[in-house]
Amino acid sequence: MSDEPGSAPIEGLYAVIPAGGAGTRLWPLSRASSPKFLHDLTGSGRSLLQATWDRLAPLCGTNVVVVTGEPHRAAVAAQLPQLPFDALLAEPSPRDSAAAIGLAAAVLERRDPDAVVASFAADHVIVGEDRFAACVREAVAVARAGYVVTIGIEPTHPATGFGYIQAGSPLEVAGAPRALSVRSFVEKPDEATAAAYLATGEYRWNAGMFVVRASVLLDLLAAYQPTLAAGLRAIAADPARLPEVWPTLTRIAIDHALAEPAARDGQVAVIPGDFGWDDVGDFASLAGLLPKAVDDLRVLGTRAEDVLLRDSSGLVVSSTGRTVALLGLEDVVVVDTPDALLVTTRARAQEVKAVVDRLKESGRTELT
Amino acid sequence: MSDEPGSAPIEGLYAVIPAGGAGTRLWPLSRASSPKFLHDLTGSGRSLLQATWDRLAPLCGTNVVVVTGEPHRAAVAAQLPQLPFDALLAEPSPRDSAAAIGLAAAVLERRDPDAVVASFAADHVIVGEDRFAACVREAVAVARAGYVVTIGIEPTHPATGFGYIQAGSPLEVAGAPRALSVRSFVEKPDEATAAAYLATGEYRWNAGMFVVRASVLLDLLAAYQPTLAAGLRAIAADPARLPEVWPTLTRIAIDHALAEPAARDGQVAVIPGDFGWDDVGDFASLAGLLPKAVDDLRVLGTRAEDVLLRDSSGLVVSSTGRTVALLGLEDVVVVDTPDALLVTTRARAQEVKAVVDRLKESGRTELT
pTM for the complete prediction?
Answer: 0.90
Residues of chain A in contact with residue B348, where contact means CB-CB under 8 angstroms, are 311, 327-328
Rounded Cα distance between B294 and B309, Å, is 9
The residue out of B258, B278, B298 marking a domain boundary is B278
Task: Concatenate the DSSP letters of all residues of B203-256 into one string.
Answer: EEEEEEEEEEEHHHHHHHHHHH-HHHHHHHHHHHH-GGGHHHHGGGS----HII
The residue out of A278, A297, A325 marking a domain boundary is A278
Residues B148-168 have a mean pLDDT of 96
Classify residue A6: in a domain, yes or no: no
Tell me: do B219 and B294 sit in the same domain: no
Residues of chain A in contact with residue B31, where contact means CB-CB under 8 angstroms, are none
Tell me: do A227 and A295 sit in the same domain: no
Classify residue A4: in a domain, yes or no: no
The distance of A32 to chain B (nearest Cα, Å) reads 17
Tell me: do B263 and B360 sit in the same domain: no
Percent of chain A at pLDDT > 70 equals 98
Rounded Cα distance between A216 and A203, Å, is 25
Rounded Cα distance between A367 and A318, Å, is 16
pLDDT in tens, B56-66: 999 999 999 99
Tell me: do A199 and A120 sit in the same domain: yes
Yes or no, beta carbons of A328 and B351 under 8 Å apart:
yes
**3-state secondary structure at position B153:** strand
The distance of A16 to chain B (nearest Cα, Å) reads 36
Name the residue facing A344 among B329, B344, B345 (closest C-beta).
B329
ipTM more than 0.95? no
Yes or no, beta carbons of B324 and A308 under 8 Å apart:
no
Average of per-residue pLDDT values in chain A: 95
Provide the domain count of chain A: 2
User: Strands B13-19, A116-119: parallel, antiparallel or unpaired by DSSP?
Assistant: unpaired
Classify residue B1: in a domain, yes or no: no
pLDDT in tens, A51-66: 999 999 999 999 999 9
Tell me: do B226 and B117 sit in the same domain: yes
Average of per-residue pLDDT values in chain B: 95
Classify residue B8: in a domain, yes or no: no
Within 13 Å and on the Cβ side, how many CA atoms surround A9? Answer: 16
Tell me: do A316 and A239 sit in the same domain: no
Residue A246, class by beta-carbon neighbours within 10 Å (0-12 exposed, 13-18 middle, 19+ buried)?
A: middle
Residues of chain B in contact with residue A352, where contact means CB-CB under 8 angstroms, are 327
B329-336: Cβ within 8 A, 24+ apart: B329/A329, B329/A332, B329/A343, B329/A344, B329/A345, B332/A329, B332/A343, B333/B283, B333/B284, B333/B287, B334/A341, B334/A343, B335/B27, B335/B28, B335/B29, B335/B283, B336/A341, B336/B302
Tell me: do A263 and A311 sit in the same domain: no
Structural domain including B304 reads: 289-367
Tell me: do A233 and A140 sit in the same domain: yes
Within 13 Å and on the Cβ side, how many CA atoms surround B350? Answer: 3
Classify residue A137: in a domain, yes or no: yes
User: Strands A323-327, A332-336: parallel, antiparallel or unpaired by DSSP?
Assistant: unpaired
- What pLDDT sits at residue B190? 96
pLDDT in tens, B215-256: 999 999 999 999 999 999 999 999 999 999 999 999 999 999
**3-state secondary structure at position B347:** helix
The distance of B125 to chain A (nearest Cα, Å) reads 26
Classify residue A22: in a domain, yes or no: yes
CA B137, B66, B181, B220 dihedral sign is: negative
Q: Residue A7: pLDDT above 80?
A: no
Q: Is A338 on the interface with B (CB under 8 A)?
A: yes
Rounded Cα distance between B147 and B139, Å, is 9
Name the residue facing A352 among B327, B348, B352 (closest C-beta).
B327
Q: Is A357 on the interface with B (CB under 8 A)?
A: no
- What pLDDT sits at residue A85? 87
Rg (CA), chain A: 21
Task: Check: CB of residue B166 under 8 Å from CB of residue B260.
Answer: no
The distance of B236 to chain A (nearest Cα, Å) reads 45
Tell me: do A299 and A269 sit in the same domain: no
Looking at A6-15, A35-44, A116-125, A239-248, which range is the least confident one?
A6-15
* Angle (deg, nearest 10), helices A96-111 and A226-237: 50
Residue A75: how many other CB atoms lie within 10 Å: 18
pLDDT in tens, B270-302: 999 999 999 999 999 999 999 999 889 999 999
Contact residues for B281 (Cβ-Cβ < 8 A; gap 6+): B25, B161
Rounded Cα distance between A107 and A94, Å, is 18
User: Strands B116-119, B13-19: parallel, antiparallel or unpaired by DSSP?
Assistant: parallel
Yes or no, beta carbons of A339 and B322 under 8 Å apart:
yes
Contact residues for A293 (Cβ-Cβ < 8 A; gap 6+): A299, A304, A307
Task: Check: CB of residue A12 under 8 Å from CB of residue A114.
Answer: yes
Tell me: do A269 and A295 sit in the same domain: no
The distance of B49 to chain A (nearest Cα, Å) reads 28
A-interface mutation test, from B322, B333, B334, B362, most A Cβ less than 10 A away: B322
Minimum Cα–Cα distance from B367: chain A residue:
A323
The distance of A326 to chain B (nearest Cα, Å) reads 5
Residues B340-368 have a mean pLDDT of 94
- What pLDDT sits at residue A2? 42
> With bands split at pLDDT 50, 70 and 90, how would you rate the model's confidence at B37?
very high
Tell me: do A235 and A331 sit in the same domain: no
Q: Residue B125: pLDDT above 50?
A: yes
The distance of B111 to chain A (nearest Cα, Å) reads 49
A-interface mutation test, from B31, B323, B357, most A Cβ less than 10 A away: B323
Cβ-Cβ pairs closer than 8 A, A with B, add up to 111
Side chain identity, residue A357: D
Task: Check: CB of residue A294 under 8 Å from CB of residue A142.
Answer: no
Yes or no, beta carbons of A327 and B28 under 8 Å apart:
no
The distance of B313 to chain A (nearest Cα, Å) reads 12
- What pLDDT sits at residue B2? 42
Residue A23, class by beta-carbon neighbours within 10 Å (0-12 exposed, 13-18 middle, 19+ buried)?
A: buried
Q: Residue A1: pLDDT above 60?
A: no
Q: Residue A6: pLDDT above 80?
A: no
A window 17-36, beta carbon within 8 A of B: 28
Minimum Cα–Cα distance from B320: chain A residue:
A339
Q: Is A45 on the interface with B (CB under 8 A)?
A: no
Q: Is B325 on the interface with A (CB under 8 A)?
A: yes
User: Strands B323-327, B340-345: parallel, antiparallel or unpaired by DSSP?
Assistant: unpaired
Task: Concatenate the DSSP letters of all residues of B93-137 into one string.
Answer: S--HHHHHHHHHHHHHHHH-TT-EEEE--TT-EEE-HHHHHHHHH
Terminal alpha carbon distance of chain A: 49
- What pLDDT sits at residue B6? 59
**CATH code where residue A227 lies:** 3.90.550.10
Task: Check: CB of residue B326 under 8 Å from CB of residue B309.
Answer: yes
Residues of chain B in contact with residue A354, where contact means CB-CB under 8 angstroms, are 310, 327
Peptide bond into B28 cis (omega under 30): yes
Tell me: do A147 and A228 sit in the same domain: yes
Dihedral, B254, B257, B259, B260 alpha carbons, nearest 10: 130
pLDDT in tens, A99-145: 999 999 999 999 999 999 999 999 999 999 999 999 999 999 999 99
- What pLDDT sits at residue B27? 97
- What pLDDT sits at residue A22? 80
Classify residue B5: in a domain, yes or no: no
Residues of chain B in contact with residue A316, where contact means CB-CB under 8 angstroms, are none
Residues B115-129 have a mean pLDDT of 97
Classify residue B193: in a domain, yes or no: yes
- What pLDDT sits at residue A21? 82
3-state secondary structure chain A: CCCCCCCCCCCCEEEEEEECCCCHHHCCCCECCECHHHCCCCCCCCCHHHHHHHHHHHHHCCCEEEEEEHHHHHHHHHHCCCCCHHHEEEECCCCHHHHHHHHHHHHHHHHCCCCEEEECCCCCEEECHHHHHHHHHHHHHHHHCCCEEEEEECCCCCCCCCCEEEEEEECCECCECCCEEEEEEECCCCHHHHHHHHHHCCEEEEEEEEEEEHHHHHHHHHHHCHHHHHHHHHHHHCHHHHHHHHHHCCCCCHHHHHHHHHHHCCCEEEEEECCEEECCCCHHHHHHHCCCCECCEEEECCCHHHEEEECCCEEEEECCCCEEEEECCCCEEEEECCCEEEEEEHHHHHHHHHHHHHHHHCCCHHHC
Peptide bond into A158 cis (omega under 30): no
Minimum Cα–Cα distance from A339: chain B residue:
B322
The residue out of A246, A278, A310 marking a domain boundary is A278
Rounded Cα distance between A177 and A192, Å, is 32
Contact residues for B48 (Cβ-Cβ < 8 A; gap 6+): B36, B37, B38, B39, B40, B41, B42, B122, B123, B124, B125, B280
Rounded Cα distance between A160 and A157, Å, is 9
Task: Check: CB of residue A90 under 8 Å from CB of residue A110.
Answer: no
- Render the burial of A309-347: b for 16+ CB within 10 Å, e for the rest: bbebbbbbbbebebbbbbbbbebbbbbbbeebbbbbbbe
